[in-house]
A and B are shown apart, each in its own frame.
Chain A
């Protein structure tokens, strides 16, 4: 009984992923006929080869990579010190800031997309990785900060108090005691920041319609590209395989308290 439920849910989850693979690996003759057979009789890399020849992969790949690393950098530079401070503030002040973070994280991307885009145009940052990254940080930074506040809260305050009694400055106790202890949590948060940027679609689409990140390019190719859905699918698979590997490796760190903050 339990195993039946388990099997049904597993099939529900795995079936779409399986479809992504069999459509991408189907010989091109089969795709144009109808849907490829559920159990493929032959496998072909023709869709992948088509993508490599006809799609502008490298520019999208580099744009996505650059954007994701800038977002990660912004989150680390601004988020680590701020989240540390929030975790040590008196509860009432900390609570007010956490609510502010939560509200900004929950604001619909599409609501701020247009005003941000017009700012980026004025700054000359439209259609650049910097512009997309700044815009994406508006959602991702509050979320990642929130996650890291949780990490710093797990470090007992007495460690810092005893360091202070021993004469260490606040800055010194932060860099030599608390930062090293929080390193795992910070790394997970940084990878999450990277992941969310890599996946982000709306802001990237509004801010940089010509110079496309990977999700925007996949959307474009799936609706208007040559090679149709099968090629867009092959392209998509190249994009998700590294991420699926990251998620599986990170699995044990993706606890609910992390995800509750990083739900978006």
Chain B
């Protein structure tokens, strides 16, 4: 079929989809390439100098390490919470619908607001977590939860609060896709519930786990709004990639900021390729 004929018989489809593609090209693809080009730009021409400055002055490798650490921490916490909650919700227990409503609540609390709520818990002087420690007699000094290495833990916990319900819903869909008959057969064969979990449940929800974790990893790599409020934009702030981008941008160095952003994009692209490969394998290329 010739191109002209293809276009002729699919006018409606083209009219329906072209505006979206043009819009995405203008508002999404163009800025991506503009940022990449700007990252190589100097007043005198093009070079790798912006990247060299990032490595030398902005501790690029350390920053990437920090980002990986934060991502690993947050994903561990939210995955544990999500798995436990989805297993609970998959049982026919009383109060399940109330519990489901409670679990979905953080989804409605915007990121900036959830960061304020966790400020009340983690703030160094006189707030709840230190108070609880003092009451229990565990610590009498005021621990600063939002500085240094502890900040990673605080951010990971606060972020898990906001995002684990979504991971949970994906895992729950996975659990519900496992046919009940598999468990019945296993029970007849005398498999313990731990064995059932290992040999039926885990393999059954494996693709769902991978999809949820990869998408969340990408978002965790980009995390900015939450630490900006919780840890603050102060000299001792947390060094992650997205923070470096924001910092260099605020300090007025657009090209440097673009270089950091391009590094972030490159890492995110790796995640996306892994995601596409996995979802391809899971669904045989259907979606």
Contacts and interface: CB of A to CB of B under 8 A. Distances in A.
Interface of A: 2-3, 5-6, 9-10, 12-17, 19-20, 23, 34-35, 38, 74, 78-79, 81-82, 84-86, 88-89, 91, 95, 97-104, 106-116, 118-119, 134-135, 137-138, 141-142, 145, 170-171, 174, 198-199, 201-202, 206, 215, 218-219, 222-223, 229, 232-233, 236, 239-240, 243-248, 251, 254-257, 259-260, 263-264
A138 B27 contact: yes
A170 B27 contact: no
A15 to B, nearest CB: 8
B119 to A, nearest CB: 7
A107 B32 contact: yes
29 contacts: A2-B88, A2-B93, A5-B88, A12-B161, A13-B102, A16-B117, A19-B121, A20-B113, A74-B23, A81-B17, A82-B19, A91-B286, A95-B287, A106-B215, A108-B245, A108-B261, A114-B38, A114-B257, A115-B32, A138-B24, A141-B20, A145-B20, A202-B225, A206-B249, A215-B112, A229-B120, A254-B107, A259-B170, A263-B216
Interface in B112-168: 112-114, 116-121, 126-128, 131, 161, 166
B222 interface: yes
Contact of A85 (B13, B111, B275): B13
Nearest to A79: B20
A2 B275 CA distance: 34
Contacts of A111: 31-32, 35, 245, 261-262, 264-265
B57 interface: no
Contact of A239 (B95, B113, B228): B113
B99 A115 contact: no
A13 B103 CA distance: 7
A248 B104 CA distance: 8
A6 to B, nearest CB: 6
Given A114-B38, A223-B233, A260-B215, 12 more contacts: A12-B161, A82-B19, A108-B264, A111-B31, A112-B32, A114-B258, A115-B30, A137-B23, A170-B12, A219-B112, A222-B229, A232-B116
Contacts of B275: 102
A89 B6 CA distance: 13
B60 interface: no
A98 B287 contact: yes
Q: At the interface, is chain B mostly helix, strand, loop or mixed?
A: helix
B273 to A, nearest CB: 10
B161 A103 contact: no
B93 A218 contact: no
A3 B29 CA distance: 49
Given A108-B264, A232-B116, A6 B35 contact: no
Contact of B99 (A6, A81, A95, A236): A6
Nearest to A38: B128
A-B pairs, top 3 by smallest CB distance, nearest first, are A247-B108, A256-B173, A115-B31
B111 A89 contact: no
Interface centre among B107, B121, B170 (most CB of A within 10 A): B107
A254 B169 contact: yes
A256 B28 contact: no
Given A19-B121, A119-B31, A236-B116, A255 B173 contact: yes
B186 interface: no
B10 to A, nearest CB: 9
B261 to A, nearest CB: 4
Contact of A110 (B118, B127, B242): B242
Interface string B1-43: 0000000000011011101110110011111101100100000
Contacts of A142: 24, 28
A259 B83 CA distance: 17
Contact of A86 (B17, B117, B228): B17
B90 to A, nearest CB: 11
B35 A114 contact: yes
A210 B32 CA distance: 25
B106 to A, nearest CB: 6
A116 B103 contact: no
Given A114-B258, A171-B12, A243-B110, A9 B103 contact: yes
Interface in B219-263: 219, 221-222, 224-225, 228-229, 232-233, 242, 245-246, 249, 254, 257-258, 261-262
A171 B232 CA distance: 53
B209 interface: no
A28 to B, nearest CB: 16
B73 interface: no
A115 B2 CA distance: 39
